[in-house]
Structure 1
Amino acid sequence: MSPRRPSRYHRKNSRTELYPAKGRDAKMMSQTDGQLHMAVDTGGTFTDVAVRGEDGQMSVWKLPSTPTAPDDAVIAGVEGALERVGRSPGELTRFVHGSTVATNTVITRDGARVGMVTTRGFRDVLAIAHQSRPAIYDQHKRRPEPLIPKEAIVEASQRMDADGAVLVDLDEVSLAETVKPLATLELDVIVVSFLNAYVNPEHEQRAVAVVQDAGVASQVVAATSISAEMREYERSSTAAINAYVSPKITGYIQRLEQGLTAAGMKTSWRMMQSSGGLLSPSDAADHPARTVLSGLAGGVVGAANWSQHLGLQRTVSFDIGGTSTDIALIRDGVPDETLASEIAGLPLKLPAVDVHTIGAGGGSIAWLDPGGGLRVGPHSAGAEPGPISYQRGGKAPTVTDAHVVLGRLGHELLGGEFQLDAAAARNAMVAWGETIGLSAEDTAEGILRVITATMSRGIRKVSVERGIDLRTCDLMAFGGAGPLHAADLAQELGMQSAVIPPRPGIASAVGMLDAPIRHDYATSVEAKTGAALEKLQQIFETMRARAAEQLDDPQAETNYDLLVDARYIGQSYELTVEFDADWERQRAIFEDMHEQNYGFADPDALMEIVVARLVVTQQLEHGALESVASITADVTPSSHRDVYIDGAWRDVPIYDRATFGAKTVIAGPAVIEQFDSTIYLRPDQMAENDTYDFLHIRQATEQE
């Protein structure tokens, strides 16, 4: 286990921050509180912990992750955080966990040994992939290698047509002989993926039984049990990813379960999935591919809930970390979703929040292209060695170093626990600036302008390219570096405001506290006329019956969303829309969505429905939001610092955000510091704190 921190913590006004105290003790969370919620979000560098009491009082903590044994940091975080607020694991009434174990397993190619049985003639389905190319004009660019090597793939004699009718029956005797050579490869999992099995999975299920009896692998799964939808490459890839991460996820969940039980936790717990919902540990072990993007989902779910609370109609969720920036569009409190995401260049056909990730973060490295142009990212200094100012051996100037040189960042982070070497960052910026004929300050400003342009393109990708006017949007900025860039981006893009949540650097953990329990079901169908809708209703009832068997608490209030994938006949891809039992209304719903997404509808084209979907959610009771109404609105700067703004040094006030109350108003320029992040405010902006500690940054008016 990771070493624990000292059991002292610092409380400012009514808010508890889990970091060493500076002269004041804190009040413990009341032992009489009925509810005690905890979320732990494991990242590559830090594991974030959020603890919430009955009254909404939130305590947060960061501790180093333990990549070789991620569960160690989780257990240490649970025990350490609760110790610091005077509570015990046995008092927890809700525990949720977001993990990057599946993500990192795929990225680092450190997963299981997987084999595959496929239809004769389709052995190369994973290698051929689809027509899309990662970089159409780069002749040296190559697709990532499949997770299953060709020597571990065998073919079976069987074939079904697109309607599920048997063309060639499965030869079980031949299959039993064909898979025997796979025993020498010592495989962990074998995937059975047959052409058109999404319509009729009978052959896949029979083949699974045959391969299991052959004893050539400890686990055999049918691809249709992971994703039962059309497009054989995407379906096979999803099943391969699921198999590849399965042993690691299963082992991780078992160790974590044992550790939490040993620590004294009694409540059942949940894992975050890519769709933004929660699932049980047993479901996560059965379908680990559903957790591959869980690290991205927590923050988006939080941003969606906060947007709904604040009454924001259109919000861009903007999460900046050390290496990348994750961007998502939220409409009326609901994040956009996708059924076709990717992980490490491999398609994943499962529901997920629609997050656009770009290689731009605090550790992004500045460099010159062959034409002498200044570029920033996507290469990153990462956590090791990190930016120059981190004093860990970094040599290349980064975005974080630019903030330090300009004075936006001071000499320390994390409440003084992390020291920054401003002199080293400046010396490096001076030397690097000489190569392009600029001063250290102008070089640093140039780095930030370039990264702002990169981030702006990413925001336009999820908004303007989807027909959304950014002038009607608000920016919800979080992550350790999000609040440093929010003011510049809101001004650059003409957005209504930038909103900084109470604890932006740990927002993913805080956000997942109120995520719903969620189950997704999908059935391939064929409906081209209104007469076929009656059959769809029967299919929905069948899926509802399946859901009733899987829900831990069937008596809890449950929401059933009936959806369909529809398209014009002849189109290659579909739109997922709400189901309506009337064909004309169904078409109107589809065409309205088609016009929103593509700018037109075609009333003369025929429509077809190809997939019926059921999304089952059980919303956990939302915890109370922490109020700062009792804290005075009047604040004074804790210090002043020189900050380089638009070509000149200015004396800028530095504020401690923990002193902000409801209706606290700050005029720019200003720097606002807190334990987990730093907020920069431009000279032409003002920031106002609301009752629930959300900071709203807007353009200042002449009267202000």
Structure 2
Amino acid sequence: MTTGPETIRLAIDIGGTFTDLALEQGSKRTTAKVLTTPDAPERGVMQGLHVITRTAGVAPGDIALIIHGTTLATNAIIERKGARTALITTEGFRDVIAMGNESRYDQYDLNIVLPEPLVPRHLRLPVPERLDNTGKVLRPLDEDAVRALVPVLKKEAVEAIAIGLLHAFVNPVHEQRIAAILAAELPDVPISLSSDVSPEMREWERFSTTVANAYVQPMMARYLRRLEADLHAAGATAPLFLMMSGGGLTTIDTACRFPIRLVESGPAGGAIFSAHIARECSLDTVLSFDMGGTTAKICLIDDFKPQTARTFEVARVGRFRKGSGLPLRIPVIEMVEIGAGGGSLAHVDTMGRIAVGPESAGAFPGPACYGRGGTHPAVTDANLALGRYDPARFAGGSIRLDVAAAHQTLRREVGASLNLTAEMAALGVVEMVDENMSNAARVHAIESGKTYEGRTLIAFGGGGPVHACRVAEKVGITRVLVPSGAGVGSAIGFLRAPVGYEVVRSLYQRFSTFDVMAVNNLLDDMRLEAEAAVAKGSFGAATVETRIAYMRYVGQGHEIPVPLPNRPLGEEDIAAIRAAYDIEYARFFDRPVPGSDVEILSYAVVVATAAPDLPDHPRNESLFTAEATPVRTQQVRDTATGAVSDWAVYDRSVLASNAVIAGPAIVAEDETSTLIGPGWRAVVNGLGYLELTR
């Protein structure tokens, strides 16, 4: 996206507890953090807009670009607060979204609970039609049967319609005809087609994604248009872009059409932020650690790029259990997201163990120390009881924390049944949440075929820098980086994201019978579609294209992504692509399978604006260290040893480059605090980032 050096850009990230804002004008950055308003999220955004423009000394009309990310779509699915949706599908396949792939996420649980489909069975409406796997019409669409559904849809007061037909990803003609018939009769009801939303094979995932898109579409479209109108009314008439789960930006029109692509928009911004920091600091292997008010997000970043995936689960009924949620087939940045944030609630379970999350106090009532009516202890209460927060400076001083309330609820809800003081209960809560996050990080690395040796942990979010040292110790990382603006890292990440769009199509091929012309024609069509979507918001900026094929050995059940050349393929490329697959397979599973043919199920083409050149920053190469003077001391209980001691507290805003701080210490700033544990040492590098080494 082409912008001048003094262009004012605003990023807005709505989280479960806080709404974060970051405004950049050239090299100057202003940040703000306000409580989220769940009943009307745009209200919190407007409050934040007034705060940040007043602080920065600019008018809303001076803003040239607004970028927004939100978890509203995810929350609507989890809380089942979406639209009343109907599914139109091929006769005989109405129960696909209920049957799934018939797998069980726990083979030995006789009382297993599976996720309920978003569409009840009486609103899954079959129509006579049939295509074969090549898209050939075996049974023409019965248009009279489609028209007969109109009275049913009206009687049931359906607010959104999903259309998913067998093999429509190859030939969308029947889906498009059904949409045309229903749109003429029900012009105010939005319609989602599986051939548009997720044109890939596997009926369960395709239908589930299409249903989810339809389910959140009315609510998300209303919210985005309300936000757009409120911004315009306040004088902020700049173009509004939305952060997508895959890490790119898109226009509000595209977001209203495919809101399901926004489900992980906030966490995606955090991964983009970490990737940008890694690129600035020339860190090839990084663990991104984003801990906010409701969740913690962990993402592996190699060669300055986050891992990506084609599948995602939402609304899991089994905590952290893969296969227990509703599948979505969308481009996403691959990460682990767990219910471990500042607002995560602690309790003692039936076995007498301290458990934390996934339930969260959210913004209202919030943790007990917020003084807004919360009666259950949260992680923020535990950190406060351990002396880790300054109760007068939390969230930039916008919230004064009640220390007595934190102690009281910890003692009552956790300490009483375990015969622990409030302080020791707090230690147990914090140690448990740190172990939850560390365990999730270990599993994520194993599933990705990677290790943490030599990695740097980049910590951000309101809670990330507070817990970073302890999490790093637990996973074996000896270097932590806390960038400036860490408290609103995801919002800053939005400002670093490219305008991009990913198109995915299925075309079954085997290398033994590879049709080069068919594949090239498909990839060209996909490139044109992606370029058209990006052109709406790139303002003529240069773009970069990435091509990927999803392959597997014949007979296997899952694919591995393999990059393709960004040019027309020739016969001579087939052997090289096959060799690239064997190498990638061996990275995951130690060695390839000789003599087995490889099949390609689908292709992805990503077009995105090119990353800007990084300016030259002074590096921290001086042999001299600057003086770091603490502003005060406060008593802190160390979670590793349980010992209480005086920790020096430093004001980050006045720390000079090359300042050295020996732990234990706290570096405080408006949106977060960085804990430098015993045995750790921090240095302010040439970029103003805190580098912690053990």
The residue number in structure 1 matching 2:398 is: 417
The residue number in structure 2 matching 1:436 is: 418
The one-letter code sitting in structure 2 at the alignment partner of 1:585 is A
The one-letter code sitting in structure 2 at the alignment partner of 1:477 is A
Residues 534, 226 of structure 1: CA spacing in aligned structure 2 closer, same or farther, 3 A cutoff? Answer: same
Residues 84, 445 of structure 1: CA spacing in aligned structure 2 closer, same or farther, 3 A cutoff? Answer: closer
For the pair 1:51 / 2:23, whether they are aligned, the reply is yes
For the pair 1:588 / 2:571, whether they are aligned, the reply is no
For the pair 1:601 / 2:592, whether they are aligned, the reply is yes
The one-letter code sitting in structure 2 at the alignment partner of 1:561 is T
Equivalent residues of 2:458, 2:480 under 8 A apart: yes
Residues 141, 216 of structure 1: CA spacing in aligned structure 2 closer, same or farther, 3 A cutoff? Answer: farther
Q: Which moved more, 1:275-284 or 1:129-138?
A: 129-138
Q: Which moved more, 1:599-608 or 1:345-354?
A: 599-608
The one-letter code sitting in structure 1 at the alignment partner of 2:522 is I
Residue-by-residue CA offset, 1:635-655 (whole Å, 9 max, x unaligned): 211001112232322121111
For the pair 1:543 / 2:526, whether they are aligned, the reply is yes
Deviation at residue 490 of structure 1 after TM alignment: 1.2
CA RMSD after TM alignment = 2.5
Q: TM-score of the superposition, structure 2-length normalised?
A: 0.91
Matches within 5 A, 1:340-379: 340-344=311-315, 345-379=325-359
Equivalent residues of 1:180, 1:216 under 8 A apart: no
Residue aligned with 1:61, SS: strand
Residue-by-residue CA offset, 1:10-48 (whole Å, 9 max, x unaligned): xxxxxxxxxxxxxxxxxxxxxx97321211112233221
Equivalent residues of 1:632, 1:660 under 8 A apart: no
Deviation at residue 430 of structure 1 after TM alignment: 4.6
Separation in structure 2 between the aligned mates of residue 358 and residue 44 of structure 1, nearest angstrom: 13
Q: Which moved more, 1:676-685 or 1:395-404?
A: 395-404
Separation in structure 2 between the aligned mates of residue 380 and residue 75 of structure 1, nearest angstrom: 24
Equivalent residues of 1:365, 1:380 under 8 A apart: yes
Deviation at residue 261 of structure 1 after TM alignment: 2.7
Residue aligned with 1:675, SS: coil
The residue number in structure 2 matching 1:36 is: 8
Separation in structure 1 between the aligned mates of residue 509 and residue 354 of structure 2, nearest angstrom: 54
Separation in structure 2 between the aligned mates of residue 409 and residue 258 of structure 1, nearest angstrom: 38
Gaps of 5+ in 2: 316-324
Separation in structure 2 between the aligned mates of residue 137 and residue 367 of structure 1, nearest angstrom: 27
The residue number in structure 2 matching 1:259 is: 230
Match 1:453 to one of 435, 450, 460: 435
Separation in structure 2 between the aligned mates of residue 644 and residue 231 of structure 1, nearest angstrom: 53
Percentage of matched positions with identical amino acids: 35
Deviation at residue 51 of structure 1 after TM alignment: 0.9
For the pair 1:523 / 2:508, whether they are aligned, the reply is no
Separation in structure 2 between the aligned mates of residue 366 and residue 265 of structure 1, nearest angstrom: 41
Deviation at residue 524 of structure 1 after TM alignment: 1.1
Q: Which moved more, 1:277-286 or 1:363-372?
A: 363-372
Deviation at residue 371 of structure 1 after TM alignment: 3.3
For the pair 1:233 / 2:213, whether they are aligned, the reply is no
Equivalent residues of 1:117, 1:190 under 8 A apart: yes
Equivalent residues of 1:186, 1:217 under 8 A apart: no
Residue aligned with 1:315, SS: strand
Residues 523, 380 of structure 1: CA spacing in aligned structure 2 closer, same or farther, 3 A cutoff? Answer: closer
Separation in structure 2 between the aligned mates of residue 80 and residue 644 of structure 1, nearest angstrom: 35
Equivalent residues of 2:681, 2:692 under 8 A apart: yes
Equivalent residues of 1:415, 1:674 under 8 A apart: yes
The residue number in structure 2 matching 1:5 is: none
Deviation at residue 53 of structure 1 after TM alignment: 1.3
Separation in structure 1 between the aligned mates of residue 25 and residue 587 of structure 2, nearest angstrom: 42
Matches within 5 A, 1:610-621: 610-619=601-610, 621=612
Separation in structure 2 between the aligned mates of residue 256 and residue 446 of structure 1, nearest angstrom: 42
Q: Which moved more, 1:193-202 or 1:62-71?
A: 62-71
The residue number in structure 1 matching 2:495 is: 513
Residues 525, 205 of structure 1: CA spacing in aligned structure 2 closer, same or farther, 3 A cutoff? Answer: same
Deviation at residue 534 of structure 1 after TM alignment: 3.1
Equivalent residues of 1:42, 1:98 under 8 A apart: yes
The residue number in structure 2 matching 1:687 is: 682
Residue-by-residue CA offset, 1:164-197 (whole Å, 9 max, x unaligned): 2222221222332244322211222222211111
Q: TM-score of the superposition, structure 1-length normalised?
A: 0.89
Equivalent residues of 2:37, 2:363 under 8 A apart: no
Q: Which moved more, 1:613-622 or 1:628-637?
A: 628-637
The residue number in structure 1 matching 2:633 is: 640
Match 2:363 to one of 363, 380, 383: 383
Deviation at residue 511 of structure 1 after TM alignment: 1.1
Deviation at residue 162 of structure 1 after TM alignment: 1.9
Residues 696, 643 of structure 1: CA spacing in aligned structure 2 closer, same or farther, 3 A cutoff? Answer: same
Separation in structure 2 between the aligned mates of residue 685 and residue 483 of structure 1, nearest angstrom: 13
Residue-by-residue CA offset, 1:299-327 (whole Å, 9 max, x unaligned): 11111111111111111111112232111
The residue number in structure 1 matching 2:61 is: 90
Separation in structure 2 between the aligned mates of residue 393 and residue 76 of structure 1, nearest angstrom: 22
Residues 207, 165 of structure 1: CA spacing in aligned structure 2 closer, same or farther, 3 A cutoff? Answer: same
Separation in structure 1 between the aligned mates of residue 619 and residue 575 of structure 2, nearest angstrom: 51
Separation in structure 2 between the aligned mates of residue 105 and residue 370 of structure 1, nearest angstrom: 30
Equivalent residues of 1:527, 1:533 under 8 A apart: no
Separation in structure 2 between the aligned mates of residue 420 and residue 409 of structure 1, nearest angstrom: 9
Deviation at residue 297 of structure 1 after TM alignment: 1.0
Q: Aligned pairs, how many?
A: 667
The residue number in structure 2 matching 1:154 is: 125
Residues 256, 433 of structure 1: CA spacing in aligned structure 2 closer, same or farther, 3 A cutoff? Answer: closer
Separation in structure 2 between the aligned mates of residue 525 and residue 669 of structure 1, nearest angstrom: 58
Equivalent residues of 1:191, 1:239 under 8 A apart: yes
Residue aligned with 2:174, SS: helix
Equivalent residues of 2:36, 2:363 under 8 A apart: no
Matches within 5 A, 1:655-670: 655-670=650-665
Q: Which moved more, 1:361-370 or 1:430-439?
A: 430-439
Residues 174, 694 of structure 1: CA spacing in aligned structure 2 closer, same or farther, 3 A cutoff? Answer: same
Separation in structure 2 between the aligned mates of residue 213 and residue 248 of structure 1, nearest angstrom: 22
Residues 549, 490 of structure 1: CA spacing in aligned structure 2 closer, same or farther, 3 A cutoff? Answer: closer
Deviation at residue 402 of structure 1 after TM alignment: 2.4
The one-letter code sitting in structure 2 at the alignment partner of 1:364 is S
Equivalent residues of 1:183, 1:217 under 8 A apart: no
Gaps of 5+ in 1: 1-31, 700-704
